Structure 1
Amino acid sequence: MTTNVLTGTDLELAYGKTPALRGASCAVRAGEIVAITGPSGSGKSSLLLCLAGVLVPDAGSVIYNGSGTYDGRRIDQLSEGDRSRLRRTELGVLFQFGQLVPELPIAENVALPLLLSGARRKAALATATEWLDRFGVADLAARYPGEVSGGQRQRAAVARALVTNPRVLFADEPTGALDSLAGEQLLTQLTRVARENGTAVLIVTHEAQVAAYAQREIALWDGAVVDDGLTDDDVPQPVATFDDPDTREG
């Protein structure tokens, strides 16, 4: 069985008095493409953000089985700085509207995670251009986000999310701002590159056409996982256990 790269267990999260996650559990294996589905307000984005370390759950654990400093660590127990560093080096995050920096050219936007991690500018830009080329937009490297189409911006955003060769890519409604053709093209390229690199991909979506690109579907309802697409013989096992589950960052 392929090792779980990420395991979330009994996750709970509330915004004020409004619960968003109610004991949600899931696991993702290396190289697997998973769709997180459910109606609006079911907790899809909240689950994604907790798994990515953008949000810290009120209860439960998120264990990362990757490499280097953070291998086998609980993401929910890391400091904000460590969570940010983990996302910058081993995880990739892609939002619906890409969120490129408008003041930077496309190539510098894509190179940003490398530059923030200390890479030399020339090498970082060269790597960024290679990734832009993989998504068919290398000719836009010198342009600014406001000078290109929405589909082109989103391709650049995907290149930025993958430029560090992350172990896991988190994509929240990545085609929501695109027309159907541009969305299909983006998903085709994204899933192809992810498979080539062995990157696990979690895609939040409410669209069946998008979920069809995934190998497995995790369905949420009212903050709980109601179906994870696994058979009894294919249930991922936690990669690590900890004696003090209550010690975590608040």
Structure 2
Amino acid sequence: MRYSTIIISLDEQIRSTTDQQLRRGVDDPRAIWIDGSRVATQEAIHYINLLDDGSVVGVAQFRGDAAHLARIQEDVPHIISSTVTGGETWLGYMHYEPGDVERAILERLDSEAISIDWPMRETDSGLQVTLFGDDAAVQHLITALSEDVSVSLERKGEYEPEIGDPGEHLTDRQTEIVRTALAAGYYDIPRRATQRDLAAELGVSRGTIGDHLRRAESKIIRAVLQ
């Protein structure tokens, strides 16, 4: 299996949003500014997912004012919700409405038969993303991404993942739902099932499915990072 590590150059147009209260990359491509004040630096993205309703959930690693970022939904209308962990370097979970360019990038990532070697890392040059899978599919995705943003190839080669067992941290109910999602094709690229499909199969609400999946995904991400 092959991998390619690319740099996506997120310039001011892409990093900024239509809401001028929140800005990205004013003097540092990793910087987050709220109302003219730099509140945090985003160092890595450990998970990001485009939901059926067009909104995005993500878990990212930050350094800076955790308390301020935890209240970001109060300051920035397109942030639906946010929670943070503690410590000097901390994780932030966010649910938000993406801009058009970010949505286009995530739709392309979902449309190809490739996987992402998490985390995506913020660098001085842009967002560093490692893709793996069939070489032709990876190259097709890189070409497609180049239609939306500036993409440069950093390196490529044979993929050798480090394998762990993060599933041991899930509850029985979370394991059941994640296994159902896998079997139904929820995590396939492109997806063959939605959260509504899973809710109908398991006899629960879509909100319950979404909550269990987000909690399970968060546990898996934390386990991988330890």
Please say whether Structure 1 and Structure 2 have the same fold, judged by a TM-score greater than 0.5: no
Structure having the larger proportion of residues in strand? 2
TM-score range, shorter chain: under 0.3
